[in-house]
Amino acid sequence: MKKAYRHGLLAALAAGMMVAAGCSTTYSVDRVNTGGEDSLVFVRPDRYSLLGTRSLRDHIEITYETLTYDQATGYAVVRVGVRNRGGQHFWDRRGRDFNLAAQAAFYNQPVAMIPPQPGASFPSDAKGRQEGGGPGVSTPPVYQAARKTFALPRGQTQHLEFICPIQNVSGYQVVFSEY
Amino acid sequence: MKQKQAWQVMACAALAAAVFGFGCTTPRPPRAPVQLDINEVDHTPFGSAEIKQCAAEMGPKILMVPEIARAAETTRIVVQPLRNSSTIMMDTRMITDALKDELMAVSNGKVRFVTSEDREIAQSNMIVREKLEVARDRMLDEVAESILQSPLIANAAKPPVIAVTPALNANFVGLNANSFIAMLRAKIAGRANGKAFFTAPGSLEGADYYLTGEFIAESMKQEGMINLVDYIYLVEERVKAGQSMDVYDSTDTTVSTDAAGTVILTKERRQSLLTEIERSAQLRVEPNVNKFLNVMLIKADNKIAVMEKMFSLDAKLTRGLDRVEYTLTGNIASQSRYVQGYEEIYVVVTFKLIAPETKEEIWGGRYETKKAIQRGGVVY
């Protein structure tokens, strides 16, 4: 009887806590640590298949990525080659055409690990990705270009160019997504 | 049987209640509006996403044009609306305005736009006029003060007597010539405190100095006449003196006289001359030129101007195009193909920067897009 009484008390307490939690006015939001993020990122896929995902990384690859500075103005110019390599798995050898959106944001501090030097371009690694481990994005961008939309049929390469009309930027991040 | 009837009555009552109930239903409120992403590509041929992309791509490229990038000073551009040779019904100012916004936001003062909107120019000119009027009043104060502070007046053994005489070239349209001199007289008199005296208006008796002025216009055009009475007197005097009726004619050619030797300037001719002057476009349109008043203090005995001070009465109102370095213009064109309820449309927006002096296109830019959009209903 005493045990049953105790159980009832605990249940009532738990229920009270749940109710109290439900009555809370504000809640903390999740914050992400972007440290180590690349200068080129694909966002999470919006569709999942039975085998694997239909992630952009399964079909899209970066052929080059350069950051240069215009000599006359000092503006940062990011050029990226995006290629649709088609399907790379036995269950999907064909791949598909994509409608992609790319948006570049420029920062006063580097996003990837190696800060670019003015007037120099730094090539991508063999996999077309910048070396990770950089500070990531921790400040608001000094300039964000408009979202660039384009079609990328299988086997085609799109040459993208983003110009930051503000001087002295040293970091950037281009986000690719489907639309 | 009775039971069946009762059932029918009840069914009818229920139906009536249901109908009545529906009639009392409060209509549903409309759905809450949904905010859409302006960067999202939609079924508009050239929608918000394309406009933003176009502006974001072209803006930095314009700033990187060598003539603008290397310019030491701010580059001023006037926008001429894009020509719309496409099948899209749209206000092309949406494109140029977005581009202007982009450039204004990121150029950091390197690029400025000169408006070409008549409404905005008229409003700006109205403000300029009001500022000039205030400045004119202030300037009269300054002139009055400088006259009183001049050694001639300040160091005079006895207070000089000043007579006001009509201003020369008092023939500007829209300006009451003598009122400026009268206002100046009032300003001086108000500050004189016994340092100077004025004669009665129209009297030159006992004057040591004449206060007068000369109106000057920055114009190569012949001035209009406003003082019609003076003009007629002048014409009559010229005619009586045997000169032509044209006051600008200095050839002094004689005019014909009648048998008694009287100059032929009949009442009708005088009236027609008056009408001719009144109807003259030159008289009715205020000349849009810089206008100045040169105030002079003239010694009465030897007619020497002992003091002069020029101030601006009116400034030429311009459209501000004199400082424009480039014209930004372009075209929007499209090509469509209709396939099973879809329109495949290819849109090209071209921009060019033109140097007005040389007519050279110093830069050309191009934004193009192609998309399939679903067409509902009738496709035109």
Interface pTM (ipTM) of the complex? 0.74
Between the CA of residue B14 and those of B11, B19, B23, what are the distances in Å? Answer: 5, 9, 14
- pLDDT at position A124 is 41
Residues B147 and B229 in one domain: no
Summarised one tens digit per residue, pLDDT across range A33-89 is 888 788 888 886 656 666 666 677 778 888 898 999 998 889 999 999 999 988 777
Q: Is B29 a domain residue?
A: no
Is the model's pLDDT at B19 over the cut of 50?
A: yes
**Phi-psi sector, B320: left (phi>0), alpha (psi -120 to 50), beta:** left
Contacts of B53 in chain A (CB under 8 A): 146-149
Closest of A115, A132, A123 to residue A168, by C-alpha = A115
Confidence of residue A120 (pLDDT cuts 50, 70, 90): very low
Q: Range of B355's domain?
A: 48-112+341-374
Into how many domains does chain B fold?
Answer: 3
Q: How far is Cα of residue B59 from the mean position of the Cα atoms in its chain?
A: 28
Instruction: Check residue B325 and give its pLDDT.
Output: 95
Measured in residues, chain B has a length of: 380
Residue B322 DSSP one-character state: G
Predicted confidence band at A129 (pLDDT cuts at 50, 70, 90)?
A: very low
Distance from CA of B76 to the nearest CA of A (A): 18
Q: What integer pLDDT is reported at residue B147 of this predicted model?
A: 87
Same domain for B151 and B293: yes
- Indicate whether B266 belongs to any domain: yes
Query: In this model, does residue B236 exceed pLDDT 90?
Result: no
Q: Render pLDDT for B282-332 as a digit per residue (tens, 0 to 9).
A: 555 566 778 888 888 888 887 788 888 887 777 888 888 889 999 999 999
The three-class DSSP label of residue B202 is: coil
> Measured between CA atoms, how close is A149 to chain B, in angstroms?
8
User: Does residue B167 lie in a domain region?
Assistant: yes
Looking at residue B224, its pLDDT comes to: 47
Q: Does any domain span residue B248?
A: yes
Report chain A's mean pLDDT, rounded to a whole number: 80
Domain at B163, CATH number: 3.40.50.10610
Q: Kindly state whether residue B334 falls inside one of the protein's structural domains.
A: no
Other Cβ atoms closer than 10 A to B30: 6
pLDDT tens string B171-219: 554 566 667 778 888 889 888 888 889 988 767 778 898 888 777 777 6
* B15 inside domain: no
**Do B89 and B189 sit in the same domain of this protein?**
no
Judgement on whether residues B257 and B294 belong to the same structural domain of the protein: no
Query: Are B235 and B300 in a shared domain?
Result: no
Q: What is the share, in percent, of chain B residues with pLDDT greater than 70?
A: 74
Report yes or no: B240 and B252 within 8 Å, Cβ to Cβ: no
Residues B349 and B369 placed together within one structural domain of the fold: yes
Q: Do B248 and B146 share a domain, yes or no?
A: no
Spell out the domains of chain A, with CATH numbers in brackets. 40-178 (2.60.40.3230)
Inspect the interface and report whether the beta carbons of B106 and A70 lie closer than 8 Å.
no
Average pLDDT value for residue range B139-147: 87
pLDDT number for residue B119: 93
- Asked if residue B214 and residue B230 are part of one domain, the reply reads no
Identify whether residues B308 and B212 lie together within a single domain.
Answer: yes
Shortest CA distance from A165: residue in chain B: B60
**One domain for residues B123 and B202:** yes
Asked if residue B273 and residue B310 are part of one domain, the reply reads no
Flag whether pLDDT at B348 surpasses 90.
yes
Higher per-residue pLDDT: B26 or B192: B192
